[in-house]
């Protein structure tokens, strides 16, 4: 790109005379001649189509992208895909915009203003990739030598390339978001059922009971399309939720409940089902440890009567009793759970609700059964460590990590992490001082109490951010490395959310990366080559590339080259679901569903989900429960800079019951402050009868303060500012093995702005 004194155009055409006349001149070389061998240039190239996978959410639905002139024209679902089934959500369709976002990061950037913080201009300057990578590696190396590898933290999605670099450096600090998302499900399912289950056989369910499970309202195609089939086939849908959502509108019955008390409802259901012996005896005796602990279990649940639960949940005892009976006798019945629903990490008792729901599903025999909750049939694609085995990783100087995950033994056994303790521990240097951070695919706004994290990040000497848009994390960075979008990179996706049978969907670059963006895998390899070269080499001593890994992994995993998979879009190994087959083989190996949590007991946790109230309750100062939901057309903070999606859903609002609004003197669409003990947000009030009078609901994903985001900046407010962060000691004292963040366990007040 350098303006060299070359004569690109002259070379093919010039005669001495013309050069003499025009003289030597500098040319930018933005354009080049198409080689004559290329034939006549095509002025109207045809529409081409490529298979790939959507990258807006983790479902990674199979899609087909249509491209003309190297520019994406439109995209649609891939009909053969287990996730999308040919359907695609609004977020997925609008994803075609991302590569062309005018505000996307285009070149590596270096900060020239040492001051950091909200509203501080980093005074960026574009630099070359070599300078950016050398600077980043040099600084990280300096910090590692001076303070030890534990002083470098990875606030990054743990891809195999990220993990290779982290482990090779010897840092114990893998900071991931799961305590704000799914940690209760993963830990509790792992230590009761034995695995995390993702699939629901909704089309064969006759009764679907949802404790705040609201996926169709979130536009999750993968779950919605099968749920819709259940609805078409006449399944009864019962929704327990303090808010009327799209799901509630599809339900046969909507039950309003005090937020964070679903555990009492579920315990009373267990009480009725056991008391009236409505459970599936054969199933329970064969596949669970119920028989071994029957006395303890019956004794534990005997006081949790519907009348008791009614006083906590606000739901009439008769309703709870009836729902328990219907659930146990309308088989196949199932209670689905997914991410941030009440059994997700929303409340202090969420992990127990998760356990209680597993018990309920087991009592009616719905786990691994027709119309129930199924094990994923995955595909084994060899990991990076299998394809290119590393030299043995160095032992980190300490096993303690900055989040305190190492103090939570069960959480430590699953490869998930905590956001909620990070800011506190950086600021208090507990257990040590952090000096540098590598931030990839995470944004500051997703943290509870994100403003505290900003203060914590200010203490660091050096931050590298790998991102697509100029997010809040980017604004705190010293070096910014521009990542490719999912439409510009290569990879594969395994269908875990709907793995009825093994299937792999290709991720291929449907267009050349815009500007000078490079894939994150390439970026981590380049950092690795500079920092810990031995760990980024093949056995022959040469460096490996992400492409080489991909090729070898696919050939070994599914016997296809990347090119073959790219042509086909999908690789599948269709098979029929055999009910109870997995539980049968597990039972033969002596592994049964732990209704009575033997593992929990072993580690000092409650073996049965005894009643535990939520952390915060309304007080005179903070009289309202906060509920948080997500709009159907946005994916967290990731899409709230997308003008097409903002046209559909331009900003979040505080949903409040008209009577409550009147009490606080608030009118529809008036600006209000919503305030918790952690912070306050300014947001428009929206009056709505479909919410409990003691609640206020805010959608997540808005409130960007990065002024680099041309559409997202300044829209709505960030619910995270209301959510307290926490300490590891608080988690331990609470007796929670999962490290849940308690994202909605917050009470607030509301007043005119």
Select from 2-10, 290-298, 361-369, 734-742 the region that touches another protein (CB under 8 A).
Answer: 2-10
| Shortest Cβ 97–another protein spacing (Å) | 8
Contact (CB, 8 A) for 104 and 98? yes
Select from 124-132, 255-263, 428-436, 443-451 the region that touches another protein (CB under 8 A).
Answer: 124-132
Query: Exposed e or buried b for every residue in 43-69, given b needs 16+ CB within 10 A?
Result: eeeeeeebbbbbbbbebbbbbbbebee
Positions in 250-309 near another protein (CB under 8 A): none
Count the site residues for another protein by CB under 8 A.
62
Positions in 661-680 near another protein (CB under 8 A): none
Select from 118-126, 335-343, 363-371, 722-730 the region that touches another protein (CB under 8 A).
Answer: 118-126
| Shortest Cβ 263–another protein spacing (Å) | 45
Report the phi/psi class of residue 70: left, alpha or beta, with left for phi > 0 and alpha for psi in -120 to 50: left
Q: Toward another protein, which CB reaches closer, 17 or 114? A: 17
Q: Toward another protein, which CB reaches closer, 69 or 160? A: 69
| Shortest Cβ 5–another protein spacing (Å) | 9
Task: Build a one-symbol-per-residue string for 690-729: x at contacts with another protein by CB under 8 A, - elsewhere.
Answer: ----------------xxxxx--x----------------
599 near another protein, rule: CB under 8 A: no
What is the distance in angstroms between the CA of the first residue and the CA of the last residue of the chain? 52
Report the phi/psi class of residue 585: left, alpha or beta, with left for phi > 0 and alpha for psi in -120 to 50: alpha
Which burial class, exposed, middle or buried, applies to 656 when counting CB atoms under 10 A from its CB (0-12, 13-18, 19+)? buried
Q: Toward another protein, which CB reaches closer, 26 or 581? A: 26
Contacts of 512 by beta carbon, 8 Å cutoff, 6+ apart: 70, 488
Report CA-CA distances (Å) from 698 to 95, 590, 625, 631, 720.
24, 46, 11, 10, 10
Positions in 641-660 near another protein (CB under 8 A): 643
| Shortest Cβ 447–another protein spacing (Å) | 20
DSSP three-state, residue 654 = strand
Contact (CB, 8 A) for 375 and 368? yes
39 near another protein, rule: CB under 8 A: no
130 near another protein, rule: CB under 8 A: no
Q: Toward another protein, which CB reaches closer, 443 or 738? A: 443
State the Cα–Cα distance between residues 26 and 6, nearest whole angstrom: 6
- Residue 230: name the closest of 86, 371, 376 by CA: 371
The C-alpha R_g of the chain, in whole angstroms, comes to: 27
Q: Toward another protein, which CB reaches closer, 20 or 590? A: 20
Q: Toward another protein, which CB reaches closer, 22 or 195? A: 22
Report CA-CA distances (Å) from 444 to 262, 419, 718.
30, 10, 11
Q: Toward another protein, which CB reaches closer, 33 or 669? A: 33
Q: Toward another protein, which CB reaches closer, 123 or 752? A: 123
- Between 262-275 and 294-301, two packed helices, what is the crossing angle to 10 degrees? 120
115 near another protein, rule: CB under 8 A: no
Among 49, 126, 330, 678, the residue binding another protein under the rule CB under 8 A is 126
Task: Build a one-symbol-per-residue string for 79-98: x at contacts with another protein by CB under 8 A, - elsewhere.
Answer: ------------------x-
| Shortest Cβ 20–another protein spacing (Å) | 10
State the Cα–Cα distance between residues 221 and 85, nearest whole angstrom: 9
Select from 104-112, 351-359, 581-589, 744-752 the region that touches another protein (CB under 8 A).
Answer: 104-112
Q: Toward another protein, which CB reaches closer, 136 or 580? A: 136
524: number of Cβ within 10 Å? 26
Among 76, 103, 326, 670, the residue binding another protein under the rule CB under 8 A is 103
β-sheet bridge partners, residue 239:
210, 254
112 near another protein, rule: CB under 8 A: yes
74 near another protein, rule: CB under 8 A: no
Task: Name residue, tokens 């169709």.
Answer: 216
Positions in 466-505 near another protein (CB under 8 A): 470, 475, 480
- Between 317-329 and 306-313, two packed helices, what is the crossing angle to 10 degrees? 120
Report CA-CA distances (Å) from 23 to 2, 13, 29, 451.
19, 15, 17, 59
Positions in 431-470 near another protein (CB under 8 A): 470
State the Cα–Cα distance between residues 62 and 638, nearest whole angstrom: 20
Q: Toward another protein, which CB reaches closer, 128 or 428? A: 128
Contact residues: another protein, CB under 8 A: 1-3, 9-10, 13-15, 17-18, 21-23, 25-34, 41-44, 69, 71, 97, 99-103, 105-107, 109, 112, 120-128, 470, 475, 480, 514-516, 643, 706-710, 713
């Amino acid at each position: 790109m350098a303006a060299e004194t070359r004569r690109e155009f002259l070379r093919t055409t010039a005669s001495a005379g013309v050069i003499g006349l025009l003289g030597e001149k500098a040319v930018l070389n933005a354009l080049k001649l198409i080689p004559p061998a290329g034939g006549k240039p095509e002025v109207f190239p045809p529409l081409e189509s490529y298979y790939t996978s959507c990258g807006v959410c983790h479902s990674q639905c199979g899609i087909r992208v249509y491209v003309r002139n190297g520019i994406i024209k439109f995209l649609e679902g891939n009909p053969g895909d287990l996730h999308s089934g040919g359907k695609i959500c609004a977020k997925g369709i609008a994803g075609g915009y991302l590569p062309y976002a005018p505000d996307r990061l285009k070149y590596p950037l270096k900060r020239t203003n040492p001051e950091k913080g909200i509203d501080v201009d980093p005074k960026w300057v574009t630099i070359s990739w070599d300078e950016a990578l050398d600077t980043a590696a040099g600084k990280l190396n300096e910090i590692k030598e001076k303070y030890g590898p534990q002083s470098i933290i990875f606030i990054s999605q743990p891809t195999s390339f990220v993990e290779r670099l982290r482990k090779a450096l010897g840092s114990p600090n893998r900071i991931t978001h799961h305590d704000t998302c799914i940690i209760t499900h993963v830990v509790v399912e792992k230590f009761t059922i034995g695995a995390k289950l993702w699939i629901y056989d909704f089309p064969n369910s006759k009764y679907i009971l949802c404790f705040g499970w609201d996926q169709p309202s979130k536009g999750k195609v993968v779950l919605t399309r099968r749920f819709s089939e259940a609805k078409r086939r006449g399944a009864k849908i019962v929704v327990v939720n303090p808010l009327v959502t799209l799901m509630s509108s599809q339900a046969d019955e909507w039950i309003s409940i005090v937020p964070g008390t679903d555990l009492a409802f579920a315990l009373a259901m267990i009480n009725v089902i056991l008391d009236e012996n409505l459970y599936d005896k054969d199933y329970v005796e064969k596949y669970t440890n119920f028989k071994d602990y029957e006395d303890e279990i019956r004794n534990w649940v005997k006081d949790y009567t519907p009348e008791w639960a009614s006083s906590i949940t606000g739901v009439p005892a008769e309703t709870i009793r009836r729902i328990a009976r219907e659930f146990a006798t309308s088989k196949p019945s199932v209670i689905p759970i997914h991410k941030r629903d009440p059994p997700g990490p929303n409340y202090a008792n969420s992990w127990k609700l998760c356990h209680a729901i597993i018990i309920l599903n087991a009592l009616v025999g719905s786990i691994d059964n027709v119309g129930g909750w199924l094990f994923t049939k995955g595909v084994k694609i060899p990991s990076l460590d299998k394809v290119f085995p590393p030299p043995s990783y160095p032992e980190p100087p300490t096993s303690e990590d900055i989040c305190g995950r190492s103090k939570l033994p069960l959480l430590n056994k699953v490869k998930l992490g905590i956001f909620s303790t990070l800011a506190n521990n950086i600021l208090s240097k507990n257990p040590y001082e952090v000096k540098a951070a590598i931030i990839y695919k995470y944004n500051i706004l997703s943290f509870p109490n994100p403003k505290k994290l900003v203060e914590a990040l200010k203490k660091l000497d050096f931050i590298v951010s790998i991102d697509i848009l100029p997010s809040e994390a980017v604004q705190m960075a010293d070096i910014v490395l521009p990542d490719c979008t999912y439409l510009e990179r290569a990879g594969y996706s395994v269908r875990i959310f709907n793995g009825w049978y093994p299937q792999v969907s290709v991720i291929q670059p449907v267009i050349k990366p815009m500007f000078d963006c490079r894939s994150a895998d390439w970026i981590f390899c380049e950092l690795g080559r500079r920092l810990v070269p031995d760990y980024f080499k093949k056995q022959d001593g040469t460096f490996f590339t992400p492409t080489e890994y991909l090729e070898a992994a696919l050939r070994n995993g599914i016997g296809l080259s990347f090119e073959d998979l790219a042509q086909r879009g999908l690789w599948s190994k269709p098979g029929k679901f055999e009910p109870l087959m997995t539980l049968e083989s597990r039972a033969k190996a002596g592994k049964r569903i732990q209704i009575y949590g033997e593992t929990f007991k072993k580690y000092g946790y409650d073996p049965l989900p005894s009643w535990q109230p939520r952390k915060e309750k309304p007080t005179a100062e903070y009289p309202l429960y906060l509920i948080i939901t997500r709009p159907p057309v946005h994916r967290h903070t990731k899409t709230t800079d997308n003008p097409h999606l903002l046209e559909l859903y331009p900003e979040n609002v505080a949903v409040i019951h008209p009577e409550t609004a009147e009490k606080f003197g608030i009118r529809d669409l008036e600006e209000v402050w919503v305030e918790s003990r952690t912070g306050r947000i300014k947001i428009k009030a929206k009056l709505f009868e479909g919410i409990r009078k003691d609640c206020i609901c805010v959608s997540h994903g808005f409130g960007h303060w990065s002024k680099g985001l041309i559409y997202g900046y300044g829209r709505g407010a960030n619910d995270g500012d209301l959510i307290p962060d926490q300490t590891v000691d608080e988690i331990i004292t609470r007796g929670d093995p999962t490290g849940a963040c308690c994202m909605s366990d917050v009470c607030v007040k509301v007043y005119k702005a």
